[in-house]
Amino acid sequence: MNLDHELSKLKRLDPPEGMYERILDKINKSEQSKVSKPKKWYAYAAAILILVLGLDYYAIQQYQKAELHEDIETMISTNTSWSYE
Amino acid sequence: MYSFFLIHYIRYEAAFKLDLKTIYDDYSKMVYNLCLQYLQVQEDAEEVTQDVFVSVYQNLKEYRQEASPKTWIYRIAINKSLDFIRARDRQKRSVHKNQVEITTELHAPLSAWNHPGVSLTDGEELKKIMEAIYQLPSQQKSAIILCRIEQLPMKEAAEILGVSYKALESTLQRAKKNLENSLEFRRK
């Protein structure tokens, strides 16, 4: 059997109609999925930022309260005399 | 200001899509037939051809003209086809693992064989050859497809496959020998 002779019988075909449009569809779909990924990351980053700022705000509030409390205690302990006078 | 950037962005995207159209017109027949020779199922060849051009589009921006566009596209098509065959084999193996009692045919070559390029001829012998080519190891399969079916010069085929001329020559010899043995075995 002559391999090359047999293989030369193989017909070469044109790609089917509408193939290019299907390729464009696939490209558009893959680009859309690429766009949605960063959006997710933005949402996560925003949530973490809000959480950090919230905790920071809470910590400052607590610190200020404690400082105020300490100030009042110091004031009372050092100036007890005038408070009664 | 915003519209200025938007117009440039659209132009930039349109330029790539225009390029893709030109590339598609020039190489779609080559890619489709190459995928057919590898996969030997029309629907799968169509699927992989689409994936090849999606990949071409996505990598067009990074394409540095180290190799000719034809060589570059050939490489993408070969890699995609071989990946598809590997995935198909894995799927087949897992199905067989779950159905050991049902089927005894563990190495069914291609149940859905459908190569329109062969079906259009009346060559039963050609069908046997193509089925035997499908069962060759990847490198030998590529050597036979590029050198004997696509009839590329050996030097170009070696460049596409990223091997030396001598290595390709010996791979081709081994492929021919395996092919003859396989066809002999099928006749018996």
For residue A4, which phi and psi values (nearest 5 degrees)?
-65, -35
**Higher local confidence (pLDDT), B31 or B66:** B31
State the pLDDT confidence band at B122, using cuts at 50, 70 and 90: low
Structure tokens at A33: 């999925």
DSSP symbols for chain B: -HHHHHHHHHHHHHHHHHHHHHHHHHHHHHHHHHHHHHH-BHHHHHHHHHHHHHHHHHHTTT--TTS-HHHHHHHHHHHHHHHHHHHHHHHHHHHHHHTTTT---TT-S-TT-B-HHHHTS--HHHHHHHHHHHTS-HHHHHHHIIIIIS---HHHHHHHHT--HHHHHHHHHHHHHHHHHHHHHHH-
Looking at chain A, the whole-number percentage of residues with pLDDT higher than 90 is: 38
Residues from chain A contacting residue B41 (CB–CB below 8 Å): none
Structure tokens at B177: 């020998």
Q: Which residues contact B72 (CB under 8 A, 6 or more apart)?
A: B63
Structure tokens at A52: 């950090």
Which of A2, A3, A8, A29 has the highest number of chain B CBs within 10 A, making it the mutation to test binding with B?
A: A3
State the pLDDT confidence band at B108, using cuts at 50, 70 and 90: very low
Alpha-helical runs (H) found in A1-85: 3-7, 19-78, 80-84
CA distance A8 to chain B (A): 7
* pLDDT tens digits for range B159-178: 999 999 999 999 999 999 99
What pLDDT shows up at residue B103?
Answer: 37
ipTM of model over 0.85: no
Other CB atoms within 10 A of residue B128 CB: 17
Q: Please, which residues 25-54 of chain A have a Cβ atom closer than 8 Å to chain B?
A: 26-27, 30
Instruction: Give the predicted TM-score (pTM) of the model.
Output: 0.71
What pLDDT shows up at residue B90?
Answer: 81
